[in-house]
């Protein structure tokens, strides 16, 4: 089904292009449609063929050749579109090359049709009938239901919210938590230990001095900087336990500052992450590890701190990190998790590391039931429960991660004893005795994925293991890559949310941070990323290429996606069909941003204009080609968040297919007026930028815009003659400097799909100012509202949207207690009253109403 997923993506891309650009294809449209239909028909052979290919070289060769043809079709069609778009821009001067593009496409299609016929003949002549069908992928019990790529979530869980219950993952760890919290919090300022025994002296008779000394030594021990190690196998719950402790109220209140970092990355990355958390800002520099170490020491010198080092792997890294943590006799703590006892003993010399044992039978079953989410009215018989419990304990061996992944797999299926039993008795458990149980469970869960979710899951492997992945970034990349099916009933954003939710439900994606409204902010796949089988699958189907290959190694289907930097001189023949380039935190790895410019210019110089994605988030001031808007005409995603760029190439506005342009957290102060030509733009994230909205530039473009964040609005901004055209917005973030909000009020009231709204009113000096908005009760879909600026007094709950869930008020300067009105909002669950939101002396808060 991995190849089937690729075929579906390519067919979907062809379908979209035929719909979007019928004029470009003109007479070739019928021939292209025949190729598209042929590929779709051959998909039916793939299910059986992919099952057999692991044990039949002939079938494996056929599948590989078919995949090569599929990619050849994609390259031919998209190259043709690119050439026609060049011709369109050149006008009459490009007529000869325009005609040649038509001729080349016809010849290419004829050749591809012959290859498809040959593959079809080989399949019919016996490739698909060689040998008996193998029981390799039997676990996909409802494969036929996946054909429509619709919602595959269990229907009782098919709602719009996420299940946020971190206590579920904490089953079986309560005693461990209590013990570790006590070890962390002993010796804090609240205990009075700072005042006791200012000097140690031994006086008196009958052992009094000894007792006093013992107490003093005990207190000093609690005030020493201590290291606490948690050791356990992969999937034993180390990270879950450490996270629960880190977030617990008693730990939060006991330390002046805290930092959590995944310590499996390189030293510079780990140090930079710690520094950013303790100073609470994004660090914009290229400091050496020695400089970072010194900055951390200086910032921690007068503080009682807690640092959690998750997944520390080597004693040498620990030795280097330790230099950053001063012992200031304030009871600071360092907590680390590791699978390596050698690391634990080298770090914690005072005592035994805390070892996590497997869950007992009762907790194993309890955690499993929570994860499968059985309906309240459903019950297995006692005999069925006994048999299933025996199977579960045998398969998972008390490892929490194995339990939750297996539970996530079964949560997508009907709660049927026979169905569940098939999973527990699947042949994979017996096929490879050498493989550990957790790897088998991961393989079962992956093989059960609907084909449209597989590329989405494998795509996560592109991200560094030690980085949290912003959900916003991931979902928009999936959309730009063409992984998500478009339907008339749902927007692409709705569909990608469904895809993401199912991977979360299956516990193949773990949410790391949540937003106040209960939506996920960042995610990762944790130890699942250590499974080399997934990377092999991704590279086998040509989904991506991870750099670090030797000169003798050649990507199987060329290089279609590259992370970080690959030297174009070495692989120029293999990146000519490059689709995506993603870079991660280059400034932290001492790699000059000019290398990115060199790489993109090499790609551009070879006319490799098939790029769909350029994602440089957090790369420090990358240099972009001046003419990128004229070369990368098929670009869908340009991610420049946190790059601190000063300006964009003017030609960016000429990217006709661009869907996401993200320049948030940069120094970019203006965008080219040509941005209004972007008919497909859906997400525009700015940094308090005023857009050029002169009438001659707007046309009817940007009407598909879903996100407009970071727009600056003042009296020069044409609202009725500009912003009024943007009526499909779901997320809107504005900074305003206005005397009158009338036109802005009228425009916002028309945004029926709006879900999230942030308005900040500031004066010419950038200080909070008056915010005279009309009631927002007409916005029936608005759930998240942030208002900064002085508000008129509240009079009625009907001034607010009826479904409002999260409300944030800042510098509102309300003089009258707002709680009697806010408490009446039926859906409000989170209320944040920030600085000067209320200037009175007393708030009467209802109990059990809002957080």
Whole-number pLDDT of residue 99: 67
Q: Left if phi > 0, otherwise alpha if psi is -120 to 50, otherwise beta: which for 149?
A: left
How many angstroms separate the CA atoms of 757 and 660, rounded?
A: 19
How many angstroms separate the CA atoms of 25 and 84, rounded?
A: 9
In terms of DSSP bridges, do strands 830-833 and 806-810 run parallel, antiparallel, or are they unpaired?
parallel
Rounded mean pLDDT of 472-487? 95
Rounded mean pLDDT of 484-507? 93
Whole-number pLDDT of residue 163: 56
How many angstroms separate the CA atoms of 281 and 274, rounded?
A: 11
126-140, 146-160, 303-317, 479-493: range with lowest mean pLDDT:
126-140
User: Tell me: the pLDDT tens digits for 758-784?
Assistant: 999 999 999 999 999 999 999 999 999
Whole-number pLDDT of residue 175: 92
Asked whether the beta carbons of 805 and 829 are under 8 A apart, the reply is yes
- Indicate the average pLDDT of the chain: 82
How many angstroms separate the CA atoms of 485 and 12, rounded?
A: 7
Predicted confidence band of residue 549 (pLDDT cuts 50, 70, 90): very low
CA quadruple 39, 42, 48, 52: dihedral, nearest 10 = -70
Predicted confidence band of residue 589 (pLDDT cuts 50, 70, 90): very low
Show Cβ contacts of residue 212 under 8 Å, excluding neighbours closer than 6 positions: 197, 200, 201, 202, 203, 204
Whole-number pLDDT of residue 134: 31
How many angstroms separate the CA atoms of 832 and 837, rounded?
A: 9
Whole-number pLDDT of residue 158: 45
Question: Mind spelling out the 3-state secondary structure of 737-780?
Answer: ECCCCHHHHHHHHCCCCCCEEEEEEECCCCCECECCCCCCCCCC
β-sheet bridge partners, residue 115? none
| Two structure tokens written together for 124 | 């019919």
Element (H, E) at 522: strand 520-524
Predicted confidence band of residue 98 (pLDDT cuts 50, 70, 90): low
Considering the entire predicted model, what is its pTM?
Answer: 0.87
Rounded mean pLDDT of 112-134? 61
Predicted confidence band of residue 361 (pLDDT cuts 50, 70, 90): very high
**What are the backbone angles phi and psi of residue 625, rounded to the nearest 5°?**
-60, 135
Domain limits, the chain: 1-134, 173-190+217-355
Predicted confidence band of residue 545 (pLDDT cuts 50, 70, 90): low
How many angstroms separate the CA atoms of 562 and 545, rounded?
A: 6
Spell out where 251-343 has E strands. 257-262, 305-310, 333-338
How many angstroms separate the CA atoms of 182 and 204, rounded?
A: 33
Burial 394-418 (b: 16+ CB within 10 A, else e): ebbbbbbbbbbbbbbbbbbbebeee
How many angstroms separate the CA atoms of 644 and 617, rounded?
A: 10
Show Cβ contacts of residue 359 under 8 Å, excluding neighbours closer than 6 positions: 171, 172, 367, 398, 399, 400, 403
286-295, 421-430, 540-549, 582-591: range with lowest mean pLDDT:
582-591
Rounded mean pLDDT of 709-717? 93
* Helix 361-372 × helix 382-396 angle, to 10°: 100
For 173-190+217-355, which CATH superfamily applies?
Answer: P-loop containing nucleotide triphosphate hydrolases (3.40.50.300)
Burial 570-589 (b: 16+ CB within 10 A, else e): ebeebbbbbbbbbbbbbbbe
89-98, 194-203, 671-680: range with lowest mean pLDDT:
194-203
Whole-number pLDDT of residue 147: 36
Whole-number pLDDT of residue 374: 83
Whole-number pLDDT of residue 526: 76
Element (H, E) at 832: strand 830-833
Whole-number pLDDT of residue 203: 45
Asked whether the beta carbons of 136 and 53 are under 8 A apart, the reply is no
How many angstroms separate the CA atoms of 68 and 558, rounded?
A: 10
Cα–Cα distances in angstroms (integers) from residue 585 to residues 272, 281, 589, 614, 791, in the given order: 11, 16, 7, 14, 41
How many angstroms separate the CA atoms of 401 and 525, rounded?
A: 11
Helical H runs in 397-541? 400-411, 417-424, 428-431, 437-447, 454-459, 471-481, 492-505, 532-540
| Two structure tokens written together for 335 | 């907590």
∠ Cα 232 236 238 (to 5°): 70
Q: Residue 220 burial (CB < 10 Å; 0-12/13-18/19+)? A: middle
% of residues, the chain, pLDDT over 70: 80
Whole-number pLDDT of residue 532: 74
Nearest CA among 253, 259, 257, 246 for reference residue 181: 246
The answer to whether residue 836 scores a pLDDT higher than 80 is: yes
Nearest CA among 275, 336, 274, 277 for reference residue 311: 336
Whole-number pLDDT of residue 365: 94
279-283, 665-669, 707-711: range with lowest mean pLDDT:
279-283
Greater confidence, 834 or 99? 834
Question: Can you say how many angstroms the Cα of residue 484 is from the centroid of all Cα atoms in its chain?
Answer: 15
């Amino acid at each position: 089904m991995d190849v089937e997923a690729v075929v579906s993506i390519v067919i979907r891309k062809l379908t979209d292009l035929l719909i979007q650009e019928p004029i470009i294809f003109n007479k070739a449209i019928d021939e292209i449609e025949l190729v598209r239909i042929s590929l779709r028909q051959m998909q039916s052979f793939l299910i059986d063929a992919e099952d057999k290919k692991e044990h039949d070289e002939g079938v494996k060769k056929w599948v590989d050749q078919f995949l090569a043809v599929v990619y050849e079709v994609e390259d031919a069609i998209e190259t043709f579109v690119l050439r026609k778009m060049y011709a369109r821009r050149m006008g009459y001067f490009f007529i000869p090359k325009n005609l040649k593009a038509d001729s080349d496409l016809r010849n290419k299609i004829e050749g591809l049709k012959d290859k498809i016929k040959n593959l079809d003949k080989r399949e019919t002549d016996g490739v698909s009938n060689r040998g008996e069908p193998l029981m390799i992928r039997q676990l996909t019990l409802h494969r036929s239901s996946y054909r429509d790529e619709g919602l595959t979530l269990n229907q009782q869980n098919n709602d719009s919210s996420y299940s946020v219950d971190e206590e579920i993952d904490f089953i079986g760890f309560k005693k461990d938590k209590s013990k570790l919290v006590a070890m962390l919090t002993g010796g804090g300022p609240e205990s009075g230990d700072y005042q006791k025994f200012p000097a140690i002296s031994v006086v008196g008779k009958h052992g009094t001095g000894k007792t006093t000394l013992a107490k003093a030594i005990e207190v000093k021990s609690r005030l020493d900087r201590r290291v606490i190690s948690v050791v356990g196998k992969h999937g034993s719950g180390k990270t879950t336990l450490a996270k629960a402790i880190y977030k617990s109220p008693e730990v939060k209140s006991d330390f002046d500052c805290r930092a959590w970092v995944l310590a499996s990355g390189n030293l510079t990355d780990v140090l930079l992450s710690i520094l950013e958390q303790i100073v609470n800002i994004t660090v914009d520099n290229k400091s050496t590890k020695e400089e970072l170490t010194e900055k951390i020491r200086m910032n921690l010198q007068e503080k009682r701190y807690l640092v959690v080092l998750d997944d520390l792997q080597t004693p040498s890294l620990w030795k280097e990190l330790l230099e950053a943590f001063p012992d200031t006799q304030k009871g600071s703590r360092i907590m680390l998790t590791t699978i390596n006892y050698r690391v634990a003993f080298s770090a914690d010399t005072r005592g035994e590391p805390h070892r996590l044992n497997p869950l007992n039978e009762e907790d194993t079953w309890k955690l499993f039931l929570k994860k499968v989410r059985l309906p309240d009215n459903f019950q297995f018989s006692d005999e069925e429960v006994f048999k299933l419990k025996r199977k579960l304990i045998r398969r998972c061996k008390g490892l929490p991660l194995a339990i939750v992944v297996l539970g996530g797999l079964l949560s997508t299926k009907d709660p049927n004893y026979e169905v569940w039993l098939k999973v527990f008795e699947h042949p994979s458990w017996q096929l490879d005795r050498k493989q550990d149980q957790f790897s088998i469970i991961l393989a079962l869960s992956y093989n059960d994925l609907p084909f449209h979710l597989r590329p989405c899951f494998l795509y996560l492997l592109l991200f560094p293991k030690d980085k949290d992945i912003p959900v916003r970034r991931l979902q928009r990349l999936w959309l730009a890559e063409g992984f998500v099916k478009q339907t008339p009933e749902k927007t692409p954003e709705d569909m990608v949310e469904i895809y993401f939710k199912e991977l979360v439900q299956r516990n193949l994606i773990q949410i790391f941070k949540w937003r106040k409204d209960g939506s996920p902010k960042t995610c990762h796949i944790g130890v699942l990323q250590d499974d080399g089988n997934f990377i092999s699958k991704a590279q086998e189907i040509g989904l991506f290429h991870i750099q670090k290959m030797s000169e003798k190694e050649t990507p199987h289907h060329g290089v279609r996606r590259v992370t970080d930097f690959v030297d174009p001189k070495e692989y120029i023949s293999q990146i000519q069909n490059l689709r995506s380039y993603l870079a991660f935190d280059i400034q932290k790895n001492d790699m000059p941003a000019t290398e990115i410019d060199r790489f993109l210019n090499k790609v551009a110089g070879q006319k490799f204009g098939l790029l769909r994605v350029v994602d440089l988030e957090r790369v420090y001031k990358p240099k972009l080609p001046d003419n990128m808007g004229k070369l990368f005409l098929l670009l869908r995603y340009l991610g420049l968040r946190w790059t601190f760029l000063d300006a964009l190439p003017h030609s960016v506005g000429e990217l006709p297919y661009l869907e996401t342009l993200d320049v948030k957290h940069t120094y970019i102060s203006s965008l080219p007026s040509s941005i209004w030509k972007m008919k497909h733009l859906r997400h525009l994230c700015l940094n308090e930028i005023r857009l050029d909205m002169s009438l001659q530039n707007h046309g009817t473009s940007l009407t598909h815009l879903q996100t407009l964040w970071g727009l600056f609005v003042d009296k020069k901004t044409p609202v009725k003659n500009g912003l009024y055209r943007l009526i499909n917005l779901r997320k809107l973030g504005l900074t305003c400097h206005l005397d009158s909000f009338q036109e802005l009020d009228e425009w916002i009231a028309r945004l029926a799909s709006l879900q999230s709204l942030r308005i900040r009113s500031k004066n010419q000096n950038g200080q909070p100012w008056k915010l005279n908005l009309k009631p927002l009760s007409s916005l029936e879909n608005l759930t998240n509202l942030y208002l900064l600026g002085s508000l008129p007094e509240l009079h009625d709950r009907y001034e607010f949207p009826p479904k409002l869930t999260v409300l944030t008020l800042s510098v509102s300067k309300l003089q009258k207690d707002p709680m009697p009105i806010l408490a009446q909002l039926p859906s409000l669950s989170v209320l944040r009253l920030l600085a000067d939101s209320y200037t009175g002396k007393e708030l009467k808060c209802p109990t059990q109403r809002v957080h």
